[in-house]
Amino acid sequence: MPVLRSGSPHRRSRSLATAAGILLAILSLLLGLPGTAGAAATKYAPEPTHPGQDWAGSQIAAHEGRSPAAPDAPPPSAAASVEGVDVSGHQGNVAWSTLWNSGVRFAYVKATESTSYTNPSFAQQYNGSYNSGMIRGAYHFATPNTSSGAAQANYFVDHGGGWSRDGKTLPGALDMEYNPYGATCYGLSAAGLVNWMKDWFATYKARTGRDAVIYTSTSWWKQCTGNYAGFGGINPLWVPRYGSSVGELPGGWGFHTIWQYTSTGPTVGDHNRFNGAMDRLQALANG
């Protein structure tokens, strides 16, 4: 009678070991054990909270102050300039007709922050400035420690930060500045911040076709990016400095596009000057 032989004990052991290894790998991926792909995932900070409507806003005045001798408005420049304002949820409903009558011709409106906050006054501010006759744009307040640049750029575009070639819509702006919730540079290295911005800008351009404006101060830029010069030839600069001149610019930019010259202006605090005549502002809107 023939004897039925089972497989080799060594082969069975190898098969069991292989199966056990596969199961362990699956469990490791699910649980994020050390040395697995789960551990490579970026760990982000919790989303910031907003106890008021929009209390965070720009931190420039708090960190850099304002020259006490500076006038409320800078002296006229050799080149023509256009007056503008920027607003956020902190301002609530804005008197756009008053601003228009005072000579304001463009506005930037905060739309979003991180991937959890939208300005509750965005519609009144964004549509109201447009309906008054102004050229308007939206901006995003970056929190690079809470989610990826791509995630925040997509959230921005999905919540008011898009662009259309209607002659009255400026490209979106990325607000990169002092962290109102913790570490000045968001706990990231200079290279980490630069790469986060590259991710944000690339995603925004893929969604809209436009290179975004960047809002940042020279002091913060030097401290947190090592004065990185790689964006200067691509992204228009919106620089805050509360004094009688725009002063030193961040690395990479030979000129500024927008200057936020005061945080204590009439009707709303933050007033800006576009560095050029109205036709150049319209050209920026049209891409």
Residue of 54, 86, 113, 270 marked active site? 86
Among left, alpha and beta (phi > 0; psi -120 to 50; other), residue 97 is alpha
Residue of 175, 199, 211, 270 marked active site? 175
Is 86 a catalytic site residue? yes
Residue of 177, 199, 211, 279 marked active site? 177
Catalytic residues: 86, 175, 177
